[in-house]
Structures are given as structure tokens and as C-alpha cells.
Amino acid sequence: MAGSGGSKLGAFQYTKCKMDDYYAPGRNHLFVPGPVNIPEQVLRAMNRNNEDYRSPAIPAMTKVLLEDVKKIFKTITGTPFLIPTTGTGAWESALTNTLSPGDRIVSFLIGQFSLLWIDQMQRLNFNVDVIESDWGAGANLEVLGSKLAADTGHTIKAICIVHNETATGVTNNLAAVRKLLDHYQHPALFLVDGVSSICALDFRMDEWGVDVALTGSQKALSLPTGMGIVCASPKALEASKTSKSVKVFFDWKDYLKFYKMGTFWPYTPSIQLLYGLRTALDLLFEEGLDNVIERHSRLAKATRLAVEAWGLKNCTQKEEWFSDTVTAVVVPSYIDSSEIVRRGWKRYNLSLGLGLNKVAGKVFRIGHLGNLNELQLLGCLAGVEMILKDVGYPVKLGSGVAAACAFLQNTIPMIPSRI
Ligand SMILES: Cc1ncc(COP(=O)(O)O)c(C=O)c1O
């Protein structure tokens, strides 16, 4: 895992939990906050042979995909790149194309993924000005404001922020960051990790003046891992013309050259992922992006009600930061949360997210993102209740499920064709 060789932040423990393999009947209940369930339609669409990506069919398909993918970022002016990589590669693509070594970046350390991105920035030789918060709190925008106010010489070249910190279930307010940049008329680039937010939370690239937004295929898009989707604003593309960072595989110029030629691919894309992306987008558009966001909000609220009914605490310190894609649940100090995850896996065929690094052993995470419905979530909540009882927590079986059911029954929208 990242964070060992060469890290300036030192070695960090990633997980305390050792899972052993075993056979279990039925479907695994996958409730880690990514990778998430892949819908049947997408699995079927990907079940195909390889194709020649230089045939007329793949460029034609790519052209439409590139237009359609802009909708998930809510951008008209952005230029998307579909890169064979993961979220970590998408980070690197965003940084190395827009910045030069030594450039000053302001970034926020609020959990494991913001930490890993900062670690990457440092290893790429950027000069990172870190604003740290408690794990469970959001980005400290007051400190950002004072840094922007003091930076009259515009030494800050970029603000980098993780929209949704997957380790703690914290969603940052991107509109507020844009407001501060505008207030101080600061020209810094605005780079956003939307790995566990885009396609699930409200995200408005153009309206919020985001310069680079990025996500990974295995999160809310509900695809297999392996595609990093990066979208650059005209200002980011302009910056890429003068950026001096070394990059080869991630160089946007190669993509742009092939875009111009109409062949689109500087190197071999995964044909199966392209067909999967086509279907994933079709499903999202059929449901309606706003309805998808609303569904995530409903499932998240139901999860939080269950946590409350169990008498447990949300790791997220304030309501304004509650994440609608992942809930990190704090366990009492006499329980090791890794044991909850291990039991879920071993006894109930339920995959929950571990607590990472600083919150290892203290929280477990319920991912509620991607192609997911209410009854699937209720299955997960029922599983969590049984596990809590197993590990000696005095939970009333059915309490969380009942709270979630009561809320969901009143809020699930009626689908006209099914009434
Ligand atoms: C917010 C966030 N950013 C970045 C990453 C890294 O993505 P990947 O594991 O696909 O490299 C993750 C992974 O979970 C994440 O949650």
C-alpha cells in the first residue's frame, strides 16, 4: 500500500484486520465504500471479447462517451480523460499536468485519503501547505481564508481537496471553497478528488469553478476498478501547457493529440470497461442524476437513523459534513471495530469497511453508494445488528432496521409503472 517507501509522512498502519478466505452461499453483501456492487446490466455488457480499438467502432463509441461523461461532472466546458488507472493515478494525472515541482499547494488533511493524496504531492516534490483537522471534522476553511488573504503575491498555485473523505464519512463544502477563492480574487487552481462523491453527491464542476475533478470507476459509477476519469477546465488545460512536472503515461497532451486525430486512444483501452461505462451511464441517466443523488441521500439518512437507534456515534462531528456515500460508525472503547468487520465477513457474508490508520479499531464503515436499493441496505443493517450483539454490544435486535424502515417506507418515491 502507498505510504511506505519514500513517504515523508512516515509509514502508516493501514489495517489491523486479517481476513481469511472461506466459502459462503448466496451473494456477498458488499458494503465497503468502494469497490461497490456492479449491476447485472453492466456485468452483461462487459461480458464480451476484446475488439480492435483502432476499428471505427471504438473511436465512435469513445466520442459519445466523452460527451456523456461530462454530465456526471456537470460541466459543459470541461475536457474529460478516461485513463486506465485508479483514483490514485487520477490524482497524479491532475497534479502533474497542471503544476510544476516546487509549486505551493494548500491541501487539507482530514483522513486517510486526504493523507495519501498529500503524501503523493510531497513525493512528487510539490511544496504542500497542510491544513490539518481532527479525523471526523471537515476542511478548515477559516484557515484557508487567512492563507488566501495573506497570499497577495499569489504564491499558492493550487487548492487540493478531497470532496468526500471516505475514511471518516466527511463531505466538504466545495461551493464555500470557491466563494473564498473568488472573495480574495485568488487565481489558484481548484483541484478536487471526487472519488467517493461524483455520481452520488451533488457535484457541479462549472458552477463551482473546479479546475480538475476526478473519480474512479469502482465507486459510484458501479464499475470494476481500472478506469480513472479526470476532467479538466479550460484554465487547467492552459496550465498544462506550461507545467514542468515529469509525466509520460498521464500526459494529457498525448490524449489531446489523439482526440484531434479522432482516434482517441494513445494506448490500449479496456474494451470491456468502455462497454461497462456505456451501460453504467445509461443506467444513471435513465434513473436521472438528480434522482440518483436523492437516493443516496435517503439511504444515508436511513443508515444514520439506524446508527442512532443502536446508541452509537457517527465519526463525522457535525451534520453539515455528513456524507451520503459512507457512514463511519464509532464503537465503544471495549470493542475492536476490526472484529466487527472480521465477523461480518466470516459469519454473515457481509463486507463492511475497516477503520483506517488513526481510526483503525475505532470505527467501522458502511458504504452506501453506487447501484444500491433500500432492501439491500436493510440487509446490511440487519447484519450489523447481529454482529454488534455477537461482539457484546447491548443492541436491541431490529432497532436500527426499524428506524431505517420507518424512514424509508415514507420516502421511497412511487414509481408510476409499479403502483
Ligand atoms: C476519496 C478517495 N480518494 C482516492 C482513493 C484512491 O483510489 P484508488 O484506490 O482507486 O487508487 C480512494 C479510495 O478509496 C478514495 O476513497
Domain that holds residue 100: 40-285
Domain shared by 223 and 295, yes or no: no
Q: Higher model confidence: residue 377 or residue 6?
A: 377
Which residue's C-alpha comes closest to atom 8 of ligand 1? 87
Residue 261 confidence (pLDDT) above 70: yes
Q: What distance in angstroms lies between residue 112's CA and the mean position of ligand 1's atoms?
A: 9
Domain shared by 245 and 263, yes or no: yes
What is the model's pLDDT at position 18?
A: 56
Domain shared by 249 and 385, yes or no: no
For residues 252 and 93, what is the distance between their CA atoms, to the nearest angstrom? 8
Domain shared by 182 and 266, yes or no: yes
For residues 148 and 121, what is the distance between their CA atoms, to the nearest angstrom? 20
Q: Is 3 contained in some domain? A: no
**In the listed set 285, 315, 350, which residue is the last one of a domain according to the structure?**
285
pLDDT digits (tens, 9 = 90+) for 132-161: 999 999 999 999 999 999 999 999 999 999
Greatest extent of the chain over all pairs of C-alpha atoms, in Å: 64
Q: What distance in angstroms lies between residue 415's CA and the mean position of ligand 1's atoms?
A: 34
Domain shared by 274 and 298, yes or no: no
Domain shared by 333 and 207, yes or no: no
Q: Is 19 contained in some domain? A: no
pLDDT digits (tens, 9 = 90+) for 288-306: 999 999 999 999 999 999 9
Ligand 1 pocket mutation pick from 30, 93, 112, 113 by most atoms within 8 angstroms of CB = 113
Q: Is 373 contained in some domain? A: yes
What is the model's pLDDT at position 1?
A: 34
Domain shared by 235 and 255, yes or no: yes
Q: What distance in angstroms lies between residue 87's CA and the mean position of ligand 1's atoms?
A: 5
pLDDT digits (tens, 9 = 90+) for 197-255: 999 999 999 999 999 999 999 999 999 999 999 999 999 999 999 999 999 999 999 99
Which residue's C-alpha comes closest to atom 4 of ligand 1? 87
Domain shared by 89 and 159, yes or no: yes
With a pLDDT cut of 70, the percent of the chain lying above it is 94
Residue 279 confidence (pLDDT) above 90: yes
Residue 4 confidence (pLDDT) above 50: no
Instruction: Give the residue among 136, 156, 24 at the shortest CA–CA distance from 362.
Output: 136
Domain shared by 210 and 302, yes or no: no
What is the model's pLDDT at position 311?
A: 98
Q: Across residues 307-327, what is the average pLDDT?
A: 98
Instruction: Give the residue among 109, 95, 88, 89 at the shortest CA–CA distance from 8.
Output: 109
**In the listed set 261, 285, 309, which residue is the last one of a domain according to the structure?**
285
- Give the gyration radius of the chain's Cα atoms: 21
Does the CA dihedral 237-163-381-282 come out positive or negative? Answer: negative
- The contacts of residue 47 (CB under 8 Å, 6+ apart) are 272
Question: Which CATH number do you get for residue 77?
Answer: 3.40.640.10
Domain shared by 299 and 248, yes or no: no
Which residue's C-alpha comes closest to atom 9 of ligand 1? 87
Comparing 25-29, 50-54, 91-95, 373-377, which segment has the lowest mean pLDDT?
25-29
Comparing 16-20, 95-99, 213-217, 368-372, which segment has the lowest mean pLDDT?
16-20
Domain shared by 208 and 69, yes or no: yes
Q: Across residues 103-128, what is the average pLDDT?
A: 98
* pLDDT tier for residue 13 given thresholds of 50, 70 and 90: very low
Domain shared by 252 and 129, yes or no: yes
Q: What domain count does the chain have?
A: 2
Q: Is 152 contained in some domain? A: yes
Instruction: Give the 3-state secondary structure of 223-283.
Output: CCCCCEEEEECHHHHHHHCCCCCCCCCCCHHHHHHHHHHCCCCCCCCCHHHHHHHHHHHHH
What is the model's pLDDT at position 207?
A: 98
Report the relative pairing of strands 363-367 and 127-132 from DSSP bridges: unpaired
**In the listed set 285, 305, 329, which residue is the last one of a domain according to the structure?**
285
What is the model's pLDDT at position 5?
A: 42
Ligand 1 atom closest to the Cα of residue 34 is 14
Q: What distance in angstroms lies between residue 214's CA and the mean position of ligand 1's atoms?
A: 10
Ligand 1 pocket mutation pick from 114, 117, 166, 203 by most atoms within 8 angstroms of CB = 166
Q: Is 15 contained in some domain? A: no
Q: What is the mean pLDDT of the chain?
A: 94
Comparing 5-14, 100-109, 340-349, 377-386, which segment has the lowest mean pLDDT?
5-14
Q: Across residues 322-341, what is the average pLDDT?
A: 98
Q: Is 361 contained in some domain? A: yes
Residue 331 confidence (pLDDT) above 60: yes
365 marked as part of a ligand binding site: yes
What is the model's pLDDT at position 26?
A: 85
Q: Is 18 contained in some domain? A: no
pLDDT digits (tens, 9 = 90+) for 350-372: 999 999 999 999 999 999 999 99
Report the relative pairing of strands 326-330 and 313-314 from DSSP bridges: antiparallel
Q: Is 121 contained in some domain? A: yes
Q: What distance in angstroms lies between residue 162's CA and the mean position of ligand 1's atoms?
A: 10
Residue 278 confidence (pLDDT) above 50: yes
What is the model's pLDDT at position 14?
A: 47
Ligand 1 atom closest to the Cα of residue 91 is 4
Question: Which CATH number do you get for residue 297?
Answer: 3.90.1150.10
